[in-house]
Amino acid sequence: MASAFSHIAIPAVLYANFKNQAVNFKLLLMASICSVIPDADVIAFKFGISYQSQWGHRGFTHSIVFAVVLACICLLFYRRVNSRPWIVFWFCFISCVSHPLLDMMTNGGLGVALYWPFSEERVFFSFRPIQVSPIGVGRFFTENGFKVMASELMWVLMPSLLWVAIGAGLRRKYSK
Ligand SMILES: [Zn+2]
């Protein structure tokens, strides 16, 4: 995983750039959950499921199909979040699928089963600048945790802020 902070950065940026009545705070909360939920698969370790298994960490929950299914489930609750179905779908889908895409830029662990169930192959991008985050919060506050934060700041949070700034600039320009 990259850390949860980095994963939530993606829906946060989308929200900051597109917020309106339909892209609202409730939807942001829902999408934030979508962005971190793939790592709920670490529970597989507790059940003795190996990392390599399609049911293990970075397995099926890190696939495009999982993101589509999750977004479809979220879509059912579009009234609850006072939004519109297709906005809920895309917001939640992008938030969820951004998770494995970010993981594919980390420099450790196994790749993600992005194409599950069509392929169980674990894939990475060839560009992998993000220091892999340790599994579990306890180990996050270590020297390695510091390295993780520094690399995520550089490769995820800074670009996110830049994106928000550019978005805000464009909105100001074109809303006149
Ligand atoms: Zn992950």
The alpha carbon of 175 and the centre of ligand 1 are apart by a number of angstroms equal to 38
Ligand 1: centre distance to CA 21 (Å): 30
pLDDT tens by residue, 75-111: 999 999 999 999 999 999 999 999 999 999 998 889 9
Please tell me the distance between residue 109's alpha carbon and the centre of ligand 1 in angstroms.
Answer: 10
Count how many domains the chain has. 1
Of 163, 3, 7, which is closest to residue 99 (Cα–Cα)? 7
Please check whether residue 22 lies inside any domain of the structure.
yes
> Is 176 within a domain?
no
Q: Where are the beta strands (DSSP E) in 7-150?
A: none
Is 157 in contact with 5 (CB distance < 8 Å)? yes
Q: What is the pTM of this model?
A: 0.87
Query: Is 12 part of any domain?
Result: yes
Cα of 173 from ligand 1 centre, angstroms:
37
What domain range includes position 56?
4-171
Distances (CA, A) of 6 to 19, 44, 58, 123: 20, 22, 16, 20
Taking alpha carbons only, the member of 142, 166, 155 closest to residue 102 is 155
